[in-house]
Homo-oligomer: A and B are copies of this chain.
Amino acid sequence: MIQIPREGSDGRPVAAPKAVVRKLDILRKAAAAFRDRGYAATSVRDIARRAGMTPGNLYYYFRDKQEILYFCQDYSLDVLLREARRIRRRALRADEKIRALIRSQVLCMLDELRGSAGHIEFHAISRPRLRRIIEKRDAYERIVRAVVKDGIREGRFSTCDPKLVSLAMLGAVNWTARWYRPGGGRTPEAIAAAFADYLVRGLRR
């Protein structure tokens, strides 16, 4: 697992070691290549070129293309999950939590690894790794569903099928990685705000 830079005991962020920064840079370049050309058509050489390094140097960090894909998705889901758990614990109303979850997920989709978390390439990852990815994705979905249920219980949200409504919400957000183009007229922040408005309004009584 790639260690994500965390806060130190004094609460201030700790600088990430150089190797972690390098690995994350490779993942970002790889995610962009997968999106632009498709996973199948992207070679390790392509990724190395985008990251400004030789293929030999890249193999020092990752064994093969499949491992890069796996870490793209794994890292992206770690970021999503960490944020979702933080939001769940905050002293907010259910509708505020859903807003925060949607915003955090849109920004993660469009800013972090360009939607890696949403686009699990089921057919390109080994079974044990796929299982770990799916466990994290399911854990994320459970948090969203739990907040929807909280909102129904509190009487803020209208009665609905929390599973289907959560899937609609996640689908809308995951799909952004398919149509979003940087510089295309709407910033990630504007998309996050519009999606949160629309998707929270549909829950209210």
Q: Which residues of chain A have a CB within 8 Å of any CB of chain B?
A: 37-38, 40-41, 121-124, 158, 160-161, 163-165, 167-176, 178-179, 186, 190-191, 194-195, 197-204
Contacts and interface: CB of A to CB of B under 8 A. Distances in A.
Contacts of A173: 171
A49 to B, nearest CB: 18
Contacts of A41: 123
Nearest to A173: B171
A164 B202 contact: no
Nearest to A185: B163
Contacts of A169: 172
B174 A194 contact: no
A195 B160 CA distance: 10
Nearest to A180: B167
A124 B40 CA distance: 10
Contacts of A174: 171, 175
B175 A167 contact: yes
A82 to B, nearest CB: 23
A124 B174 CA distance: 22
Given A171-B179, A202-B202, 10 more contacts: A40-B40, A161-B186, A164-B190, A164-B198, A168-B198, A170-B175, A171-B173, A172-B172, A198-B203, A201-B201
Given A161-B194, A194-B160, A194-B161, A199 B37 contact: no
A145 B23 CA distance: 41
Given A38-B122, A171-B175, A191-B164, A199 B202 contact: yes
Nearest to A123: B38
